[in-house]
């Protein structure tokens, strides 16, 4: 089973920073909100029904700062 991955990334607008939750491999964001925590929660809600999911959270410089994996990880090696 393939892992569903969402990225939480910043978007710089005239009004400041917005945060997007975007599924990996897609063009459009699933959710765009004003608060980073709201974007993370929206991605968690989407992944709630997935058997295997991951959220990669980027900082304001668009560098991944944290990752969360949900469900059973298919890796056969401990690590």
Instruction: Judge whether 52 lies within some domain.
Output: yes
Total tally of structural domains belonging to the chain? 1
Whether 79 shows a pLDDT value over 70: the answer reads no
Whether 14 shows a pLDDT value over 60: the answer reads yes
DSSP for 3-50, written as a single string: PEEEEEEEEEETTEEEEEEEETT-SS-SEEES-HHHHHHHHHHHHTT-
Residue owning tokens 């090696």? 77
pLDDT at 31: 96
Question: How far does CA 22 lie from the centroid of its chain?
Answer: 6
Measured CA to CA in angstroms, residue 27 lies from 15, 20, 46 at distances of 23, 12, 17
pLDDT at 51: 83
Range of the domain at 14: 4-71
Instruction: Judge whether 43 lies within some domain.
Output: yes
Instruction: Judge whether 78 lies within some domain.
Output: no
Instruction: Judge whether 79 lies within some domain.
Output: no
The pLDDT tens digits of the residues spanning 20-59 come to 999 999 999 999 999 999 999 999 999 988 888 999 999 9
């Amino acid at each position: 089973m393939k892992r569903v991955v969402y990225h939480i990334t910043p978007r710089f607008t005239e009004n400041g920073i917005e945060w997007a939750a975007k599924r990996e491999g897609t063009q459009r964001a699933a959710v765009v909100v004003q608060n980073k925590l709201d974007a993370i929660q929206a991605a968690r809600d989407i992944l709630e029904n997935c058997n295997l999911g991951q959220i990669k959270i980027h900082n304001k410089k668009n560098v991944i700062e944290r990752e969360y994996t949900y469900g059973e990880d298919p890796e056969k090696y401990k690590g």
